[in-house]
A and B are shown apart, each in its own frame.
Chain A
Amino acid sequence: MFWSQLDRVMGYYPVLLKGITTTVSLSLIALLIGVAVGFAFGIMRAGRNRPLSYLVGLYIDFFRGTPFLVQLFIIFFILPAIGIELNAFTAGVVALSNMAACFIGEIVAAGIAAVPTGQTEAAAASGLTKAQQLRHVVLPQAVRIVTPSLVGQFVLLIKDSSVVSAIGLLDLTRSGWVIVQSVPNGLLVFAIIALGYFVICYPLIWLSRRMEDRGQAAIL
């Protein structure tokens, strides 16, 4: 019984493969955009332009304070109503990148704030411009401080990407739904799906922990 069902699930490997490809590519694109936009958010949030910092803060808090599923629905269902047509994949990328950017922005802002003021004073005193201070002195140190948290955030991003199955995107989670229609063993199917996520996430979890351990040693 079990083995024949497992055999049938494995027979659906093209669907599984399609699902895992979507999950990985969606997460990866959202990760790249999220990091780029997130750093920009973090720099503005930690910057000395008060109104800009406040606005970015409000934006970040809005998306941190609303469910991702609702954000996804807004982007997928409401944007077309105002004339912006998006296919499911693009909508997924936009929603996921946006959420990643908000979380990463908050982490990066905290990292920048954690760099001692003496560092910017020393850099300013030697004549570096604000941009040069950021690029050569503040950001390299902030990146070191936040890298373990960022990697941890990437894990959350991959897991949160499963929500996009709600708008019909055939990601890893939805491929489970597809398979379970013909193989009526939800436990088995979703155990395999869970294993798929774990295989993608575990290296990142391991990496994050390793960097945290080493980071603490390096601070001393």
Chain B
Amino acid sequence: MIKYSGVNKWFGTLHVLIDIDLEVATGEVVVVCGPSGSGKSTLIRCVNGLEPFQKGSLVVDGVSLGKDDAKLRHLRMEVGFVFQSFNLYPHKTALENATLAPVHVRKLPVAEARARGIAMLEKVGLGDKINSYPHQLSGGQQQRVAIARSLCMQPKIMLFDEPTSALDPEMINEVLDVMVALAREGMTMMVVTHEMGFARKVADRVIFMDHGAIVETAEPETFFTAAKNERTREFLGKVLQH
């Protein structure tokens, strides 16, 4: 479903992605972790073309990225993206946030889009908030609206970029629960997160990145108990302490 081959990216002279080779199968859940600045967000932002890269190839759902813009837009319909800072449209209600792309990109009839939007908002536990504006919702609720907004496009892949990092601790679980449910339904997911509990529960693989390179890839059990790399163990020591 997603295949990186020798992907390299530079921000000016800064080498932010180094020789990335990675394959994510349909239905697989991959958790990406690593210290800040290690390139993990950049890694998943490449998948839907939010970040261009300079070398290598990245094929997502049969589309090779960086080639032509019309295909990129088509690909983006199939790839949901959830941001750390939610990025809900502040001038639109929860339901309008959810239906904007289905109506204007998928060209769904408004009534059908609304029905789907309501269903998705109910799915994330916000059936009673469909007419609320983002500023009337808590951070956890906003992030769940953002997830529902992505799901409304019925994507094949969901990307999460530190979805709980901007949330107060008591709101983290309501978002993670939605993500766990999604993973169990068989969604193909790449999740940048430090929530190791989530990784343990649903990840098929955990990837550790450092300084732009993938340092370690392992199944969760192996990753947490028998990491091979020194830097991985050091990082885990820091995040698992609390």
Q: Which residues of A contact B (CB under 8 A)?
A: 116, 118-119, 121-129, 132, 136-137, 140-141, 144
From B50, B90, B105, B149, give the contact of A127 (CB < 8 A): B105
* Distance A136 CA – B104 CA, assembled complex (angstroms): 10
Contact A121 B76 (CB under 8 A): no
**Given A125-B48, A125-B81, A126-B100: A119 touches B89 (CB 8 Å cut-off):** yes
Contact B77 A127 (CB under 8 A): yes
Contact A124 B91 (CB under 8 A): no
**Given A118-B83, A136-B104: A127 touches B89 (CB 8 Å cut-off):** no
From A121, A129, A141, A144, give the contact of B73 (CB < 8 A): A129
B153 sits at the interface (CB 8 A): yes
Contact A137 B89 (CB under 8 A): yes
Contact B83 A141 (CB under 8 A): no
Contact B105 A119 (CB under 8 A): no
Residues of A within 8 A of B138 (CB): none
Contact A141 B90 (CB under 8 A): yes
Q: Which 7 A-B pairs have the closest CB atoms?
A: A126-B101, A122-B87, A118-B87, A125-B81, A127-B76, A127-B105, A127-B77
* Distance A128 CA – B101 CA, assembled complex (angstroms): 7
**Other contacts beyond A126-B150, A127-B105: 16, CB < 8 A:** A118-B85, A121-B50, A121-B87, A122-B87, A125-B76, A125-B79, A125-B80, A127-B76, A128-B104, A128-B105, A129-B73, A136-B104, A137-B89, A137-B100, A140-B91, A141-B89
* Distance A140 CA – B91 CA, assembled complex (angstroms): 7
Contact B91 A121 (CB under 8 A): no
A selection of 20 A-B contacts at a CB cut-off of 8 Å is: A118-B83, A118-B87, A122-B81, A122-B83, A122-B88, A122-B89, A123-B100, A124-B50, A125-B81, A126-B81, A126-B100, A126-B101, A126-B153, A127-B73, A127-B105, A128-B104, A129-B73, A136-B104, A141-B89, A141-B90
State the majority secondary structure of interface residues on A: helix
Q: How many residues of B contact A (CB 8 A)?
A: 24
Residues of B within 8 A of A136 (CB): 89, 100, 104
What is the distance, in angstroms, from A151's C-beta to the closest C-beta of chain B?
A: 19
Residues of A within 8 A of B101 (CB): 126-128
Contact with A along B80-118 (1 / 0, CB 8 A): 110101011111000000001100110000000000000
What is the distance, in angstroms, from B226's C-beta to the closest C-beta of chain A?
A: 36
From A118, A126, A132, give the contact of B149 (CB < 8 A): A126
Residues of A within 8 A of B104 (CB): 128, 132, 136
What is the distance, in angstroms, from A191's C-beta to the closest C-beta of chain B?
A: 45
Contact with A along B137-158 (1 / 0, CB 8 A): 0000000001001100100000
Residues of B within 8 A of A144 (CB): 91
Residues of A within 8 A of B150 (CB): 126
Residues of A within 8 A of B90 (CB): 141
Q: Which of B79, B88, B104, B153 has the most A CB atoms < 10 Å from its CB?
A: B104
What is the distance, in angstroms, from A136's C-beta to the closest C-beta of chain B?
A: 6
* Distance A118 CA – B76 CA, assembled complex (angstroms): 16
B91's nearest neighbour on chain A, judged by CB, is A140
From B50, B74, B89, B100, give the contact of A125 (CB < 8 A): B50
B101's nearest neighbour on chain A, judged by CB, is A126
B159's nearest neighbour on chain A, judged by CB, is A125
* Distance A116 CA – B134 CA, assembled complex (angstroms): 15
Contact with A along B183-216 (1 / 0, CB 8 A): 0000000000000000000000000000000000
Residues of A within 8 A of B80 (CB): 125-126
* Distance A136 CA – B76 CA, assembled complex (angstroms): 17
What is the distance, in angstroms, from A132's C-beta to the closest C-beta of chain B?
A: 5
Residues of A within 8 A of B50 (CB): 121, 124-125
What is the distance, in angstroms, from B216's C-beta to the closest C-beta of chain A?
A: 28
Residues of A within 8 A of B77 (CB): 126-127
What is the distance, in angstroms, from B43's C-beta to the closest C-beta of chain A?
A: 15
* Distance A136 CA – B83 CA, assembled complex (angstroms): 19
Residues of B within 8 A of A129 (CB): 73
Residues of B within 8 A of A132 (CB): 104-105
Residues of A within 8 A of B87 (CB): 116, 118-119, 121-122
